[in-house]
Amino acid sequence: LEVKRAQKKISEMFKADEEDQKAKADAAAEKRRLQDEADKHQAQGKKRLAAAQKVMKERDEELRVIEQEQFDAQAKRLLQLKKSVVKISNAVHAQNERRRKKQQALEMAQEQEKKDLLSQGFNPYEVFRRRELEEKQEQ
């Protein structure tokens, strides 16, 4: 009876050990399966991320090219504007200088005529005024 009980106990222990080993093996298999699934999904995520980063990099490069083109166009317009402003400014200065020289020559001629009229005994202001009135009547 003792022997049967001992054999039964030993057989229960072996059975418990087998069940424990089977449970451990099942748990290890489940852990491997979950890890494999996680690895697979992580790899897919990395691929999606790499693809998204590639698209973003291409867009960034296109944007950089467009911004550079816009900057170059703006700089070209500004340089053209400056060139036009300088050209017009030079033309205005030249015109003003010609006008000033013409006015100076006219004033010098009038001054000389005034001296000539004074030396001849005429009133230069009266002569100039008479001339102005005659010019206005002709118009």
Read off the pTM. 0.49
What is the CB neighbour count within 10 angstroms for residue 114? 15
Going from the C-alpha of 59 to that of each of 53, 56, 70, 106, the distances in angstroms are 10, 5, 16, 70
Q: Is 123 helix (H, G, I), strand (E, B) or coil?
A: coil
Name the amino acid, one letter, at 112: Q
pLDDT at 22: 95
pLDDT at 72: 98
| pLDDT tens column, 66-114 | 999 999 999 999 999 999 999 999 999 999 999 999 999 999 998 999 9
pLDDT at 6: 86
What is the torsional sign of CA 53, 58, 62, 64? positive
Say yes or no to pLDDT of 122 above 90: no
Instruction: Report how far Cα 69 is from the mean position of its chain's Cα atoms.
Output: 9
| pLDDT tens column, 4-48 | 888 888 988 999 999 999 999 999 999 999 999 999 999 999 999
User: 49: pLDDT confidence band, cut at 50, 70 and 90?
Assistant: very high
CB 127 within 8 A of CB 117: yes
